[in-house]
Structure 1
Amino acid sequence: IEDPYDPTLIRSAPRHIRRLLGEALAEEATASIVSDMGIGVTVWHDLDAGSEGKLDHAVLTPSGLWAVESIDWGAPVRVEHGDIVGETLAPGERPVKELVRAARAVQKQTRVRFTGRLLVVPDSAVEVDVQLVGSPKKPTALVVRRSALGQVLNGVWSPPGSVDVFEIRDRLQQTVRFV
């Protein structure tokens, strides 16, 4: 295949192949944004979440430790009844629930608590930069437009308080497993 990213080829691929490619490209786009944030940010990719699969990224910034999942369903999505819905999601798919489970599995393994959970989507998939999933007092996750990810990670949406970056980094370096 001369160009595996050729739009004509992608559109002609079976649905599950388009989905895998969309997930891979979304994950790479998030990794690129995070890597451009400077030396104050540490990121771990493809963390083993045991029976829950994997967590795309754990991102440590001065504002906190973030569990980050990146995805592109190829169409708009919305928050409804505590999760993401859209016409291109597979039947029974619960992205926020899956993110929460993967983050909890990593937390249990590393004994490090996440500040928050972020579901990063393409800008065209949602109408607002950041949308809360769950109650304002105890959010389940934030759905974040890719272009707003840097702001979120830099503390615009983080809870009050600070984290001990050195302690968290050290603990994760010693305990995290990768897939």
Structure 2
Amino acid sequence: MPPFELLMPTSLEQALTLAGDFIAAGEEFDWIAGGTDLIPNYKWHLNSKAHVISLAKVAEMSELSSTHIGGMVRLHDLAESNITHPLLKEAAGSIASVMIRRSGTVGGNICLDTRCYWFNQTEDWRESIEWCHKCECGTDADCRVIANQNTLCVATYQADLAPAFLCLNATIHLAS
């Protein structure tokens, strides 16, 4: 796994300040919640960044109530909660395996990178093929995930909870 600096803010304000500092300096960074997608990608050297901001110690992001679900709420906790809407319980309980649900978070599920066979390969593999397989599926879409070459990507968005939130007319609040 490539080396990276792990930052552990204890408040949302601190996390956003760190992100703002990296953006101002022109440096790339990732957010990490449960890490069930990010860490395997880093192990495969896929889209790794020099800085990772963990949300694990940001207490306000772990709130779970009948009207609020924080981004750091574990999928398992959402599925097992007595105050969660039955649709959300069912959706969260059907995601991946128990082990993934115990680590994975609502925020990570919603903000998951697009799952694409071409994108989720090593840089060497992508350079050897230089095109996306979806282009050949009759859409004539240019789906390459190469800097300054994207015109359209039709890879499927993979957030399992998004349809349930949509059905419940939920609002997602983002901070920046």
Give the number of the structure whose residues are more often strand, by fraction: 1
TM-score over 0.5 (shorter chain): no
Greater relative contact order (Cα < 8 A, sep 6+): 1
> Normalized against structure 1, the TM-score is what?
0.26
> Normalized against structure 2, the TM-score is what?
0.26
Structure ID, larger Rg: 2
